[in-house]
A and B are shown apart, each in its own frame.
Chain A
Amino acid sequence: MFQTSLELLRFHWMAYSIYALLIISVIAWFGYNLTRKERVKSIVRIPFYGYIAFLVAGGVGHHIFTYNAIPWVEQDIKREDIKPDKVFNISIENHKWKLPKEQMRAKMGEQIAFNVSSKDLTYGFGLFRKDGTMVMQMQVLPKYKNNILWTFNECGSFDLTSTEYSGPAEYDEEGRDKMFIKDALVIECNKKVAMNSKGVK
């Protein structure tokens, strides 16, 4: 259903905004009707067990929906069993990235594994579009193997920064992020690659 995280975020923005307006309206309607002397006619009668079923279905169904609609969930769970098209090994120490010597580059639709390690603190690994929206991120724990498998169903240049706070030393005196790497990754457009809905070729 969603090919990129941007599509998901737009859907989420819309769905949650509608929900927020709905819940505020319902409580406001409820508050108004609490004051009315005449008997209020119910718009809809919700039986107690129906309400409970709705909550359970909402809580569990939400995960079933995202598992089926978001391509990276299944890919993430099965990442150890999938052979990636490209592997990038990255390390961090003293708030500095050690990226591959050559520009990180891949084709749209390829499955890319990012192996990121930290030698000192807890950091984050996050890729961002040019408009600042997040493509994806993970935490980077020191002395652990932190890996993520990602399929880019979009092309362009992506910026990199740490998504976890690792102390003020990440910034210069002016407050600029020293871990920000412009155009850290380039994804070439490749319209020929056919993707299924789960992003798995």
Chain B
Amino acid sequence: MMEKKGFLDQLINGTNFDANSLSALQKVTLRAVVMSFLFFGLVAIEGMIMRIVQTGPTNSFLPKMFGVPEHYFSIMTVHPIVGIFGSTYQLVFAAFMFLVPYLTKKPLYSIKLANFVWLCITIGTALAWLAGFIWHYAPLYTLYWPLPADMEQFSLIGGFVFVVGVALIMIGTIGFIYNIYATIFARVGVHKDKTMKEMLISGFGIDGMLNLINKLRGKEPYSKEPALSLPVVAIFRGTVDTFLDAIVILGAGILVLVYLIAYAGGFSWDVHAVDSLLYKNFFWWGLDLVADGLVLIYVAGSWYLLATLITGQKLFMENVARAALLLELFVSWMVWSHHLLADQPQPEMMKLISGEMVTAFELLTQGLALFITLVTLWKARPLKITPELAYLLGGLVGFGLAVPAGIIQADMGMNRVLHNTQWISFAHFHIALIVGLYMTLYSALYVLWPLVTNNTKMFSKKLTWTHFWLYLIGGVGMGAFAGMAGLDGMLRRHLYVNGEFSTWMILAAIFGSMVLIAWFIFLYNIVMSVGIKGLIGIFKPANNSVASYGIDGEIAIKEA
């Protein structure tokens, strides 16, 4: 039984957290996690500001500056940059940079590179945010050409800072990818005798597919012991999309930068030399690899891992799960056209095949992941509802709601009345991210917490559960009510100052504030667990250079 501490003692020292006992791998993981949750708070506050502005004249307490179009759309521009890259990418990267060494029993390729990654993404996100806050650079994350190069509406310096910020995020992302692949393919430890071919076949899920085919033909399995465990396959596979997406975003950034430099040099280049439709296809192909590629794949892999760790049992239908990841490879690369269903010059055949038919396969791949996870849990019952299990179920609810909401809109008929409305923004991707993805990540956090913090006791279980319920109800409620505003015609990239949709927005703001309060509670619980001293200690150099977890000897230490 732990002795009850006074408030100040608890705040400074936490429960039993000792930052000095952490390895280099644990520290670099926690640094990225801390930054991720700070950015989450920022993004939640931004979201609330936008909701309140949209309530119209009923809001009298918010400073007027937030309703000024230049400022409002700056917030809307940086909101997804901070949310997706500053927060989500950092949290996912942190989890995977810890998990890959943990699961493969090999050291992380480079701790230095891992530190470079979180610093790069943090600085890049801060720069992109400053470009909006100070210089009001606001072409939105979609960067529809030629808006980002419109120097009549935006300042040159704002554009420069924004592009440099996003480029830094992408460079950090490429650093993460290199680190992960170098770790996965390192031929040490359990992979000492594996060939590159074996690991690649496993990484792409081809062995799972061949096992299934052999089973149908009554033959022996192609591989009884796959070279890579299933969660590592998902991480490998999702990272392919992460790489392609980084290249596309960097490409778009270079294009914008070239025009900005030309403008700064006094040249007035014709922005229409770049075809707006071709650009849109190129950009959405890349951007969609985040939404319909890596997120779904990383999430599926996380569900499989969490289900097996929570139940302590093997995954149900593992070969099908591996094959589904291979299928998702083709699906995620071919679905971008559902973002262009409202673009009349887009060829109808691309709308039909890429926009509708291939996109519909996401129902299949995500439905399979849901099924496999649920059956794995079911076969292990009775289970105790722990925070990690509850958050996992919350994550399943999130995607159970969000994926069909997106599939419904990926239809030529429905898109005509739903495109660019709050429906897609809230009923689809806010629920997918806030409820689906983040609740999965919270589950992972509670599973990994003892491993990453050396069994630090959580300050309060009550606060953990309060966070869970507030977050779940708030996330679903906000998504539902703002989504309904979309059905009533509310556009998502539009400013309403007369309270046209104020009822829905007030309801969305009430539920949104629950998400914000939940974040405060979570943060409080974490700070009271690790203490201010511990929090600072996370950012101090590690006393030991161990770059792995759970293995001993020479292999564990890669570098200081």
Known: A66-B411, A77-B412, A168-B138. A146 touches B381 (CB 8 A): no
In the assembled complex, how far is the CB of residue B239 from the closest CB belonging to chain A, in whole angstroms? 26
Q: Does A155 count as interface, using CB distance less than 8 angstroms? A: no
Interface pairs (6), CB distance under 8 Å: A27-B393, A36-B382, A63-B412, A69-B413, A121-B144, A136-B416
Q: Which residues of A contact B420 (CB under 8 A)?
A: 124, 137, 163-164
Are A138 and B344 in touch, CB under 8 angstroms?
yes
In the assembled complex, how far is the CB of residue B173 from the closest CB belonging to chain A, in whole angstroms? 26
Q: Does A5 count as interface, using CB distance less than 8 angstroms? A: yes
Are B140 and A165 in touch, CB under 8 angstroms?
yes
A187 to B36, CA, bound (A): 52
Q: Which residues of B contact A55 (CB under 8 A)?
A: 363-364, 367-368
Are A73 and B413 in touch, CB under 8 angstroms?
yes
Smallest CB gap from B490: residue in A: A132
Which residue from A63, A67, A147 sits with its C-beta under 8 Å from B344? A147
Which residue from A34, A72, A121 sits with its C-beta under 8 Å from B150? A121
A148 to B414, CA, bound (A): 15
Which residue from A20, A48, A66, A72 sits with its C-beta under 8 Å from B401? A20
Q: Does B371 count as interface, using CB distance less than 8 angstroms? A: yes
Q: Does A70 count as interface, using CB distance less than 8 angstroms? A: yes
The digit string for B332-369, where 1 denotes a CB below 8 A from any CB of A, is 00000000101111001000000011001101100110
Smallest CB gap from A56: residue in B: B364
Are A168 and B70 in touch, CB under 8 angstroms?
yes
Q: Which residues of A contact B487 (CB under 8 A)?
A: 9, 12-13
User: Which segment, of A100-108, A171-179, A188-196, faces chain B?
Assistant: A171-179
Smallest CB gap from A32: residue in B: B385
The digit string for A1-42, where 1 denotes a CB below 8 A from any CB of B, is 000010011001100100110011001001101111100100
Are A67 and B381 in touch, CB under 8 angstroms?
no
- For chain A, give the interface size range: 35 or more
Q: Does A157 count as interface, using CB distance less than 8 angstroms? A: no
Within 8 A of B (CB), among A58-88: 58-60, 62-63, 66-67, 69-70, 72-73, 76-77
Which residue from A131, A167, A176 sits with its C-beta under 8 Å from B138? A167
State the main secondary structure of chain B at its contact with A: helix
Q: How many residues of B contact A (CB 8 A)?
A: 83
Q: Which residues of B contact A138 (CB under 8 A)?
A: 342-344, 416
Are A31 and B393 in touch, CB under 8 angstroms?
yes
Are B276 and A142 in touch, CB under 8 angstroms?
yes
User: Which segment, of B211-219, B260-268, B445-453, B494-502, faces chain A?
Assistant: B494-502
Are A143 and B276 in touch, CB under 8 angstroms?
yes
Q: Does B493 count as interface, using CB distance less than 8 angstroms? A: yes
With most chain A CB atoms within 10 A of its CB, the pick from B357, B405, B417 is: B417
A126 to B489, CA, bound (A): 10
In the assembled complex, how far is the CB of residue B423 from the closest CB belonging to chain A, in whole angstroms? 9
Are B69 and A175 in touch, CB under 8 angstroms?
yes
With most chain A CB atoms within 10 A of its CB, the pick from B72, B340, B381, B413 is: B413
Are A31 and B385 in touch, CB under 8 angstroms?
yes
Are B272 and A142 in touch, CB under 8 angstroms?
yes
In the assembled complex, how far is the CB of residue B398 from the closest CB belonging to chain A, in whole angstroms? 10
In the assembled complex, how far is the CB of residue A158 from the closest CB belonging to chain B, in whole angstroms? 12
In the assembled complex, how far is the CB of residue B559 from the closest CB belonging to chain A, in whole angstroms? 43
Known: A37-B382, A164-B493, A171-B495. A24 touches B397 (CB 8 A): yes
Which residue from B136, B411, B494 sits with its C-beta under 8 Å from A177? B494
Are B494 and A165 in touch, CB under 8 angstroms?
yes
Smallest CB gap from B140: residue in A: A165
Q: Which residues of B contact A200 (CB under 8 A)?
A: none
What is the total of A-B residue contacts with beta carbons within 8 Å? 216
Smallest CB gap from B493: residue in A: A165
Q: Does B198 count as interface, using CB distance less than 8 angstroms? A: no
Q: Which residues of A contact B342 (CB under 8 A)?
A: 124, 137-139
The digit string for B469-494, where 1 denotes a CB below 8 A from any CB of A, is 00000001000100010011111011
Which residues of A are interface residues toward B (Cβ below 8 A)? 5, 8-9, 12-13, 16, 19-20, 23-24, 27, 30-31, 33-37, 40, 48, 51-52, 55-56, 58-60, 62-63, 66-67, 69-70, 72-73, 76-77, 120-122, 124, 126, 128-129, 131-139, 141-148, 161, 163-177
Are B145 and A122 in touch, CB under 8 angstroms?
yes
Are B363 and A59 in touch, CB under 8 angstroms?
yes
Are A60 and B360 in touch, CB under 8 angstroms?
yes
A118 to B142, CA, bound (A): 18
Smallest CB gap from B500: residue in A: A132
Are B146 and A121 in touch, CB under 8 angstroms?
yes
Known: A35-B383, A58-B363, A167-B139. A175 touches B67 (CB 8 A): yes
Are A174 and B497 in touch, CB under 8 angstroms?
yes
Q: Does B68 count as interface, using CB distance less than 8 angstroms? A: yes
A-B CB proximity, top 8 nearest: A59-B360, A70-B413, A165-B493, A66-B413, A168-B69, A175-B497, A171-B69, A167-B153
Known: A63-B357, A138-B343, A139-B343. A34 touches B408 (CB 8 A): no
Are A34 and B69 in touch, CB under 8 angstroms?
no
Q: Does B168 count as interface, using CB distance less than 8 angstroms? A: no
Within 8 A of A (CB), among B361-404: 361, 363-364, 367-368, 371, 374, 377-378, 381-385, 389-390, 393, 396-397, 400-401, 404
A172 to B491, CA, bound (A): 18
Q: Which residues of A contact B152 (CB under 8 A)?
A: 169
Smallest CB gap from A176: residue in B: B497
Which residue from A60, A164, A174 sits with its C-beta under 8 Å from B357? A60
Q: Does B304 count as interface, using CB distance less than 8 angstroms? A: no
Which residue from A19, A66, A129, A134 sits with its C-beta under 8 Å from B404? A19
Known: A51-B367, A62-B411, A147-B344. A35 touches B147 (CB 8 A): no
Q: Which residues of B contact A73 (CB under 8 A)?
A: 412-413
Smallest CB gap from A19: residue in B: B404
Are B364 and A34 in touch, CB under 8 angstroms?
no
The digit string for B454-473, where 1 denotes a CB below 8 A from any CB of A, is 00000000000000000000
